[in-house]
A and B are shown apart, each in its own frame.
Chain A
Amino acid sequence: MIWLTWRQARTQAVVMAAILAVFGLVLLITGPHLVTLYRDSTFAACHRDCATDAGNFLNQLASKPPYHLVYLLGALLIVLLPAVIGLFWGAPLVARELESGTFRLAWNQTVTRERWLAVKLGVLGLASMAIAGLLSLILGWWASPIDQAADIQGAGGFQSRFFTVDFGTRGIAPIGYAAFAFALGVLVGLMVRRTVPAMGITLAVIIAVQIAFPLVIRPNLISPVRSTSVVTAAAIDGLSSNQNGTLVQVQAQSPNIPGAWVYSSDVVNQAGSANLAPLPSTCPGPNGGGNGGGPQECFQALAAEHLKQVTVYQPTNRYWTFQALEFGIYLTAAILLAWACFWWTRRRLS
């Protein structure tokens, strides 16, 4: 059975291996040089308050063409991997047999169809997870200087691994995505019984889940931390107001929480409202008139109103908790989908 699984998946496996080999080679070639750049940077030597050094290091990398490109390419590859696995490994697995009628041949050998499905699901499912894990591992190795810097201070287009888009490109979450996408593809193929429509539906569902999960589910997995800090005049960056001055908001520098996933950071007054109207009399009026005070005097007056900055975030030490949760959720979903595949094969295809 394992031979048959390999023989039938050979082409897809070879294509996948070739893509990964080429990309792995790119990483292996550029990786050591990236490490050299890191060692030579002031960031590597820095031990405390490294935000500026980290930012400088990332900006330096961003100005050197291959690194940002390889970084983006890696992110793109690992984001696309589940879709590719679901489409080309999962969806055709049973759909092609049902479509071409060869299931009548396969299921009349001395192997029950449950075992046939178990071996195929097991071997290719584990292979999908291994590929995703491998890609995540080498990408994480290559990008470790970048991640280290970006966790302290994002700059030059490099962001903390905890950020919504970047989260799924590192760690163990991609392994869960691959398992889920594969099992989903197989089940859709079983239900639709045609390869091409099954591929289309699988792709649509994977895209929907990959968009909905980070936006809707992930932020609610653990309730975020809420921190409050006093806003000093120096921290105020500016303010915005509507035409008649009834809606005023203040922008302030975010408190530096290294590597955190920040949901929001709002300046509020003592009542807890983000609307600070009316403005102190020293501030410029809504139509540019006002009482003629300069920005510094205005900010001083605002700071005197005991403004607070409320930051809602997930601290960086929760990164691996989130990774484990996301991996667990996707893996559980994959196992449920696999169970549904067995149920469907046994009940609905007979």
Chain B
Amino acid sequence: MTALHASGLGKRYRQRWALSDCSLQIPEGRVAGLVGPNGAGKTTLLHLAVGLLTPDAGAVTVLDGQPASGPDQLAKVGFVAQDTPVYAGLSVADHLRFGARLNPGWDAAYAAARVARLDVDPGQRAGKLSGGQRAQLALTLALAKRPRLLILDEPVASLDPLARREFLQDLMEAVAEWEVSVILSSHLVNDLERVCDYLVVLAASRVQIAGDVDALIASHHRLIGPRRDPASLPSDQQVIQASHTDRQSTLIVQSRHPVLDPAWTVEQLNLEDLVLAYMSQASDAARGRRPVLEVQR
């Protein structure tokens, strides 16, 4: 079963397409990272997945159901929105009551235990919590409804490094305990690297690449060698990024097979390099510029 299936998905705000022609399949049981620069359409995609938005083109199904189509679908998906909104005037205890009243599957014992671990006074207003505590409260609300899929939109973006680590750690514990699938967005690769085993790169309102992290790492290579036109590479090697100096070319290529050409020094890419390569390819394409070999004299 797929956690999220999008085909030709698009969303338009007035004239501008915030997301276009997005086709994507995220299997269930994974921790999927959705990465891309600000304004790439991450929030739009996630809001489409939880049914806060409806598509203007294509379709999206989440756990084989139409997003927010009914209570059953809503119960299956937990969502932590960007900036982790909570009711500023309601106390922490009120938030747990809110969760209990609005979710038949609410796990009160788990929620209480988690809040107790957070070391906050249950009578405290949520508006007075620190950013980290607020994010943890929002995560508690999303987890205690016992969803099969948890969707988080930039949950750690506004947190300090320590709170960030704790949040992700807690998230991973819950994932391990309950086998919940996760889709998590961030504009920072570092956040995702530690937790994700599936990656989606979204840039310029399109999906640039999506796949298993290990498979992506294995199929991308950095080639360094004498200056050369990327067009002359074998057809199974697809150039993602090319940069050239007077004498040397550095290419990032995707290839299912190992690169055997002895002219190249082949290096392994890390996740960040890979993401950056796809992002810059997207921004070049958006500016109407293809990576070409410039002749420098």
Residues of A within 8 A of B (CB): 1, 3-4, 7-8, 100-105, 107-113, 350
Contact = CB atoms under 8 A, between A and B. Distances in A.
Given A101-B81, A104-B79, A350-B53, A110 B101 contact: no
B101 A4 contact: yes
Nearest to B84: A105
A95 B149 CA distance: 29
A111 B81 contact: no
Nearest to B138: A105
Contacts, number: 73
A3 B81 contact: no
B109 to A, nearest CB: 18
Interface string B32-66: 00000000000000000011111000000000000
Interface in B90-139: 90, 94, 97-99, 101-105, 138
Given A100-B87, A110-B105, 7 more contacts: A3-B97, A3-B101, A103-B52, A108-B50, A108-B81, A109-B98, A110-B103
A3 to B, nearest CB: 5
A7 to B, nearest CB: 6
A1 B102 contact: yes
B88 interface: yes
Contacts of B79: 104, 108
Contacts of A112: 68, 70-71, 74
B224 to A, nearest CB: 46
B94 A7 contact: yes
A4 B102 contact: yes
Contacts of A110: 71, 74-75, 102-105, 145
B98 A4 contact: yes
B98 A350 contact: no
B150 to A, nearest CB: 11
Contacts of B99: 109
Contacts of A111: 71, 74, 102
B74 A108 contact: yes
Interface core residue of A100, A105, A112 (most chain B CB under 10 Å): A105
A111 B72 CA distance: 9
Question: A-B pairs with the 9 shortest C-beta distances?
Answer: A109-B102, A104-B81, A108-B79, A101-B85, A110-B75, A350-B54, A110-B103, A102-B85, A3-B101
A101 B97 CA distance: 20
B86 interface: yes
Residue picked from A1, A4, A109, most chain B C-beta under 10 Å: A109
